[in-house]
Amino acid sequence: MEFILDWAGPIIYTSLAVAALYGVFCVVLLVRKVQEKRFASEAAAIDFLDQIRALLAKRDFDAAAALCDSPPYWSKAVPQLVLVALANRDRPLPKLRRMLAEKFERDVLADLEYRHSWIGTIVKTAPMLGLLGTVCGMILAFGKIAMSQKTGTDPSVLANDISLALFTTAIGLTVAVPLVLLGAMVQVRIGKLQDSVQQHISEFLDDLETAAAA
């Protein structure tokens, strides 16, 4: 048992390092993914919608679809939803709105939320790993105190066990706290993406309805 506890320290430190690195990786990946799906600026979004509006006014649906599938836009959420809407423009508008909302939820938001859930998992796991290190360190320390009358105990060895007990908890919290803040930042970005997509798609559908009625 003591052998396992002696190895617990390095294993816990390694696990905390892996958790921290993976948490940062998830944050970076999510930020890049959200940036990929959003327009670079509101001006860029307005410019795209203006181009689509002009093509819809001419009823040139093929050119509008080609614009959505062009390199500047093929990774953006709004142009890809516009492309789906153009392919299904014969459907009633309420059904089209619902279909686009479901596609956005399924293809974009679900993936982002899945990746974001890993950040929450690491936030919960890191303090638990730190607490495990605390428990292991205290078991070793109390075990040596119990044997001190028979064998004598080097205070520096005892201090090392207590240090492990406290240090792993500190590291666990050090990993968790920044990831809580970074996770909240990512969640805000996801929320802004969702709001902007809903707004821009609503504007496009109004334009599509006007073009269909012309």
Query: Taking the CA of residue 104 as centre, how many other CA atoms within 13 Å lie in the half-sphere pointing to its CB?
Result: 27
Tell me the C-alpha distance between 163 and 134, whole Å: 9
In this prediction, residue 136 carries a pLDDT of: 78
In this prediction, residue 118 carries a pLDDT of: 92
Decide if 42 contacts 75 (C-beta within 8 A): no
Tell me the C-alpha distance between 181 and 188, whole Å: 11
In this prediction, residue 33 carries a pLDDT of: 94
pLDDT, one tens digit per residue, over 31-64 is 999 999 999 899 999 999 999 999 998 989 999 9
Domain boundaries, the chain: 2-213
Q: Is the pTM of this model over 0.85?
A: no
Give Cβ neighbours of residue 6 (< 8 Å, ≥ 6 apart).
140
Give Cβ neighbours of residue 96 (< 8 Å, ≥ 6 apart).
85, 88, 89, 205
In this prediction, residue 3 carries a pLDDT of: 56
Q: Which two tokens stand for residue 69?
A: 């599938």
Instruction: Tell me which amino acid residue 212 is.
Output: A
| Helices (H), ranges, the chain | 2-37, 42-57, 61-68, 77-87, 93-104, 110-151, 155-213
Q: Which residues, given as ranges, of the chain have pLDDT below 70?
A: 1-8, 144, 146-161, 164, 214
In this prediction, residue 142 carries a pLDDT of: 72
Q: Which two tokens stand for residue 117?
A: 């859930």
